[in-house]
Amino acid sequence: MKAADGSARESGARAQLRRRVELGQLRRALGEMETRHRSRAGDASARGAFLPTGFAELDEALGGGWHVGALNEVLVEGLGSGALEAFLPAFARAHEARAGPAFARAHEVRAGDEAARPRLLAWIHPTQPPYPPALAQAGFDLARWLVVRPRDARDQAWALDLALRSGACDAVVAAVSAAHGDVALRRLQLAAEATGTLALFVRPPRCAAAPSPAAVRLRATARGAPPESRATRRRLEVEVLRCRGQVAPSLPLLLEWSRDPLDEPAPAALRARAAAANDDRDDGRDDDRRWRGVARRALGA
Amino acid sequence: MAATMTAAGAAWRVALSAREGSREVVVATTAAAERAGVRAGLGVAAARALCGALRVLRDDPARDARVQLRLAVRLLRFTPDVVVDGPGAFLLEVGRTAHHFQGEEALAHAARAFLRELGFTARIGVAATPEAARTLARAPRTFDERVDDGALDPATGTFDADAPAFAPGDDPAPALAGLPWSALAPDREAADACVSLGLATIGDVLWLPRGGLAQRCGIPFVQKLQRLLGELDEPLVRITPPELFDEELELLDAVTAAPALLGAARLLFEAAEAELERRDHALIRATLTLVPLGRATATQATAPTAPVIVLAPSEPTRSAALLLRLLQHRLERERVAAPIEKLRLVFTATAPMPLAQERLFEAARDRAFEQDAAALRDRLAVRLGEARVVALDLVADHRPEHAFRLRRFGESAVHEAAGSVGAADAAASAAAGARPLDLWDAPRPVWIERDDRGFPLALRAEGRVSRLALVRGPERIAAGWWDGRDAERAYFEVETEEGARLWLFLDRREDAWYQHGTFS
């Protein structure tokens, strides 16, 4: 009786062990599959298809710029931060990222003019279309914009998937709420990878805790411009939370851009400004943040 | 060129019936029905007994005439002069257009292939005069001609009974001389006379003196011979194509399955494509009505409703393939409840095709992308509705909320709206001061404290006061007195303590502050 009991317990332990071994094997197989998939589709860092953000220091932090053929998330606090104003103009040249040999290698297309012909830019947002005069001011050809206004999160996920999968878009810009789960986003990431479409998702900051397959994840916070240049300049603090293939820098970046094409300070002035910006912080008016430096957008590039 | 037509429809067992006294009798059948033993003159009940799957349709000369006219319109691709020459026959003046098709022979073969694709068997005769062409089309293809005409198909070695017949040159007489006179379709009097005179061929008839012939056969027959030889002109009325495209297609079997409907719709779309090509137009919007079984005969109250599908491609198009894809997306989402027996396609809006010249070199490269883009827009619009998939246009208007237009892709740039401005004017509007990317549909009232100049100083919201720093302003806008929505505003761009930038305005007539958007 006792012996039988012991053997039963033993076989139970063995079964448990076997389960653990199997589980481990499964995990390994899954990991292998994932790496194999990565090397086939080529993750953004490996294939190096990037769209420069317009801010040299940010490009450096991101390994070259926005990751083409991947999700890029920007977590933005509140309205009117200026994140879109800072980042959107670069998307007018999104098609140029397709021209490079890196993109051609990853997506089996011939490098050159054909791949680099401008395609659609899709704006997929439940409520608000972008204000066309502002887009025109940012240098966009309005004919390239396709504006989609889905009714709800489900329709939005569907529309995003369709747009990313179609290959008809250079970039897809969307305000993506926290309602979209990890699985839905992973699906979108695969769609973007398959066609080499750049996806820029603007998300609320509470999404920072949720898992996401995005290749790039930034947190953008509005920062007031110094009073003397307020009329022409804007500032935005950007923290790289994650970037595939890069070590996220510990300090946030302060981006500064001008709306006036004639307002173009020399690099030396910029360095001085960075120091001054940090000095501003040192007097402890707001908080004790420090920045790595001030990145300035080169206008008319 | 003359062509006489018979509808093929070989695969279906269909008979046409007509009332004869008190009986309903079969007047025509398809080949498949004939193989099952159904003959003209048979009673409908007997025919049904012979062939279980037989579908009997009432013979309707008016419907036949409609179909014939539609067919005539499609034959306009071969020449602008098409004449409906009695039931089942057409005359085409091809003398001036044959060179586009590499000669009359090639044109005749092309026309025959085209009609065969549509389900009709055509017998074609080509000659210098209409009467001669008719005679050639009517004439039996004799053994001798088989060799001369190449009617013996070299590929299959079989005799092609419906091969086009040609009378080359200006004088059709030599080519016609060997044909039996019955090909002239003489009336009773003339036929009797020809028999009693012991004539065999058209050559025999032509050889006789006209005076005697007129006495024996009647004057109409002689006139026919004169028209045949071109001695007498024949007045012909060419068709004028209808302004509105409105085509119906009756299905021989009522269907619910999407693939079968798509197959039928393809024929309609191809007709539409041909029609658009003829007009040099592109389609903006069309409606396709699916008429369910029994709708035609049922009373209004019990009739099932006919689903109407609006086809609005994202760009004006002619492509039947694109329309078909559009319909396919729609059918994926909408179930067809009742079996459909008839499809009707009506154009509701077309536009002249933009000049293709400017696109000549880019066309090849852009085509694949354009198709991708159009397919994406169409698929999005099918699920979300056309109003939710739009393009952006600038409008020259000083009021920010009227300075743009959300344009449906259906209403394309072909119809440039009066107020729309091009890219050149966009630069001019850029000088008008920075605009926010996020402009609200409706400005929201806000509580603003202002300084002694009247500029915004602080924003009071949710019980908090936030100091505002002026970035730009005021930008004064006074416009709209002409349409009753006039505005007199002073716009300010301000920065909050948090660094966010808002776009505020002071409504100078109400003396109230509003927020109109954010520089997001």
Residues of A in contact with B406 (CB under 8 A): 129, 147
**Going edge to edge, which strands form the sheet with B308-311?**
B246-255, B340-352, B281-292, B308-311
Q: Which CATH architecture has domain A41-296?
A: 3-Layer(aba) Sandwich (3.40)
**What would the pLDDT profile of A180-206 be if each residue is shown by its tens digit?**
888 889 999 999 988 889 999 999 888
Residues of A in contact with B388 (CB under 8 A): 148-151
Q: Which of residues 120-139 of B touch A (CB under 8 A)?
A: none
Q: What is the model's pLDDT at position A188?
A: 92
User: Closest chain A residue to B395 measured between Cα atoms?
Assistant: A133
pTM of the model: 0.58
Residues B161-200 as b or e (16 or more Cβ within 10 Å = b): ebbbbbbeeeebbebbeebebbbbebeeebbebbeeeebe
CB pairs under 8 A between A and B: 166
Q: Are residues B417 and B375 in the same domain?
A: no
Q: Does B462 touch chain A (CB under 8 A)?
A: no
Confidence of residue B426 (pLDDT cuts 50, 70, 90): very low
CATH code, B21: 3.40.1170.60
Q: What is the model's pLDDT at position B152?
A: 52
Looking at B350, B383, B416, the residue that finishes a domain is B383
- The string of DSSP codes covering A148-214 is E--SSHHHHHHHHHHHHHHS-EEEEEEE--TTS-HHHHHHHHHHHHHHT-EEEEEE-GGGGGS----
Tally of domains within chain B: 4
Q: What is the model's pLDDT at position A72?
A: 94
Q: What is the model's pLDDT at position A41?
A: 47
Asked whether residue B183 is domain-assigned, the answer is no
Q: Least CB-CB distance to A79: which of B390, B393, B518?
A: B518
Confidence of residue B297 (pLDDT cuts 50, 70, 90): low
Q: Which of A59-73, A164-178, B402-416 has the lowest mean pLDDT?
A: B402-416
Q: Is the per-residue pLDDT at A71 higher than 90?
A: yes
Higher pLDDT, A104 or B24: B24
Q: What is the model's pLDDT at position A173?
A: 93
Q: What angle do CA B187, B190, B191 make, to 5 degrees?
A: 80
Residue A291, both tokens: 């920045």
Complex ipTM value:
0.75
Q: Which of A239-243, B280-284, B362-366 has the lowest mean pLDDT?
A: B362-366
Provide the mean pLDDT of chain A: 77
Taking the C-alpha atoms of residue B419 and residue B406, their distance in angstroms, rounded to an integer, is: 13
User: What kind and span of H or E run contains B496?
Assistant: strand B487-496
Q: What is the model's pLDDT at position A199?
A: 93
Q: Is the per-residue pLDDT at B290 higher than 90?
A: no
Q: Are residues B281 and B355 in the same domain?
A: yes
Asked whether residue B118 is domain-assigned, the answer is yes
Q: Does B356 touch chain A (CB under 8 A)?
A: no
Q: Is the per-residue pLDDT at B443 higher than 80?
A: yes
Q: Which residue range forms the structural domain that includes residue B395?
A: 390-430
Sorted by sequence, the CB contacts under 8 Å of residue A53 that are 6+ apart come out as A59, A62, A65, A66, A87, A90
Neighbours of B150 (CB within 10 A): 12
Taking the C-alpha atoms of residue B195 and residue A62, their distance in angstroms, rounded to an integer, is: 100
Identify whether the C-beta of residue A164 lies closer than 8 Å to the C-beta of residue A188.
yes
Asked whether residue B42 is domain-assigned, the answer is yes
Q: What is the model's pLDDT at position A200?
A: 94
Q: Are residues B363 and B278 in the same domain?
A: yes
**What would the pLDDT profile of B498-513 be if each residue is shown by its tens digit?**
888 999 999 888 888 9
Asked whether residue B200 is domain-assigned, the answer is no
Q: Is the per-residue pLDDT at B142 higher than 80?
A: no
Q: Is the per-residue pLDDT at A34 higher than 80?
A: no
Does the distance separating the beta carbons of B369 and A78 come in below 8 Å? no
Domain ranges of chain A: 41-296
Q: What is the model's pLDDT at position B366?
A: 57
Q: Least CB-CB distance to A128: which of B373, B379, B438?
A: B438
**What would the pLDDT profile of A136-169 be if each residue is shown by its tens digit?**
888 888 888 999 999 888 889 999 999 998 888 8
Q: Are residues B323 and B362 in the same domain?
A: yes
Short-list A118, A104, A83, CA closest to A204: A83
Asked whether residue B334 is domain-assigned, the answer is yes
Confidence of residue A45 (pLDDT cuts 50, 70, 90): very low
Q: Does B443 touch chain A (CB under 8 A)?
A: no
Omega cis (within 30) before A126? no
Short-list B513, B382, B517, CA closest to B456: B513
Residue B125, both tokens: 């005769």
Provide the mean pLDDT of chain B: 79
Q: Are residues B355 and B251 in the same domain?
A: yes
Averaged pLDDT for residues A120-127: 86
Q: Are residues B39 and B112 in the same domain?
A: yes
Residues of B in contact with A200 (CB under 8 A): none
In sign, the C-alpha dihedral spanning A110, A114, A117, A121 is negative
Q: Is the per-residue pLDDT at A217 higher than 50?
A: yes
Q: What is the model's pLDDT at position A278?
A: 55
